[in-house]
Amino acid sequence: MFNKKVIKIIFILVSLSSVAFIVFMIYSAQKSKEVVPVDQNTQTARIPADLSQITPGKSTRSDVISKLGQPNKESGGANGEVLFYNSTSNTRDSQITISKDIVVLIKEMHTYSDPKKVSDIEKAYGLSNYSLFGPDYAGGNKLYIYPAKGLAYLGDPKFDTIDEIWYFEPTTIEIFKQKFASNYTKEKVLNLY
């Protein structure tokens, strides 16, 4: 009798364990099939290229590739070859212009949510002595230039926002305009597409 009772208890325990295991497996399988809704408004953050590693007038094309890797895209521009790298913007890449194998201009693209602000530049360099209206001025941004510092920014001081920061070898305003801003003017130009 004792043996039959022990066998019966063992059978019941094994049966209960099996049922619990089956319920657990079914629950786990259903849980893994659940679809998690994806928020269409969130975009994956791009890791911007560290442009501080590149120096206009000194860095070569091979320096750029060795420090930043292969560009997202390459194209020929009026001032030379342009290499495109990730920026904080999901729609615009930063640009590195190379002429005669030397970096001549870096355009670092920004978004309005970036931590870099006009006030940071003005705190470091003072107010700009030069500003120009660009072909896209309708958006409200002007190009503010510090030619002797090798820096310019496209932005709006009133709203403390930066759209682009340009880095180049220190120069004069005349040479800067000739080399990099030939389509910019001192006066607003009515642009009726």
Do residues 86 and 127 both lie within one domain? yes
Distance between CA atoms of residues 96 and 166, nearest Å: 10
Do residues 59 and 30 both lie within one domain? no
Whole-number percent of the chain with pLDDT over 70: 81
Q: Is residue 186 one of the residues assigned to a domain?
A: no
pLDDT tens digits, one per residue of 5-55: 767 777 777 777 777 777 667 766 665 555 444 444 445 567 999 999 999
Q: Is residue 45 one of the residues assigned to a domain?
A: no
Query: Domain range holding 93?
Result: 51-180
Distances (CA, A) of 94 to 64, 72, 112, 164, 166: 13, 10, 15, 9, 10
Q: Is residue 110 one of the residues assigned to a domain?
A: yes
Do residues 1 and 71 both lie within one domain? no
Do residues 30 and 55 both lie within one domain? no
Asked whether the beta carbons of 165 and 153 are under 8 A apart, the reply is: yes
Q: Is residue 146 one of the residues assigned to a domain?
A: yes
Q: What is the mean pLDDT of residues 162-181?
A: 96
Q: What is the pTM of this model?
A: 0.73
Do residues 10 and 94 both lie within one domain? no
Do residues 106 and 77 both lie within one domain? yes
Do residues 9 and 72 both lie within one domain? no
In this prediction, residue 112 has a pLDDT band, given cuts at 50, 70 and 90, of confident
| Mean model confidence pLDDT for the chain | 85
Distance between CA atoms of residues 43 and 13, nearest Å: 52
Do residues 29 and 56 both lie within one domain? no
Q: Is residue 163 one of the residues assigned to a domain?
A: yes
Do residues 14 and 55 both lie within one domain? no
Q: Is residue 10 one of the residues assigned to a domain?
A: yes
pLDDT of residue 150: 97
Do residues 55 and 29 both lie within one domain? no
In this prediction, residue 113 has a pLDDT band, given cuts at 50, 70 and 90, of confident
Whole-number percent of the chain with pLDDT over 90: 59
Domain count across the chain: 2
pLDDT of residue 4: 75
pLDDT of residue 25: 73
Q: Is residue 4 one of the residues assigned to a domain?
A: yes
Long-range contacts of 157-162 (CB under 8 A, 24+ apart): 157/118, 157/119, 157/122, 160/117, 160/118, 160/119, 161/112, 161/117, 161/118, 162/110, 162/114, 162/116, 162/117, 162/118, 162/121
Q: Is residue 148 one of the residues assigned to a domain?
A: yes
Beta-sheet pairing, 94-99 with 102-109: antiparallel
Do residues 62 and 2 both lie within one domain? no
Do residues 157 and 84 both lie within one domain? yes
Q: What is the mean pLDDT of residues 168-180?
A: 96
Asked whether the beta carbons of 85 and 93 are under 8 A apart, the reply is: yes
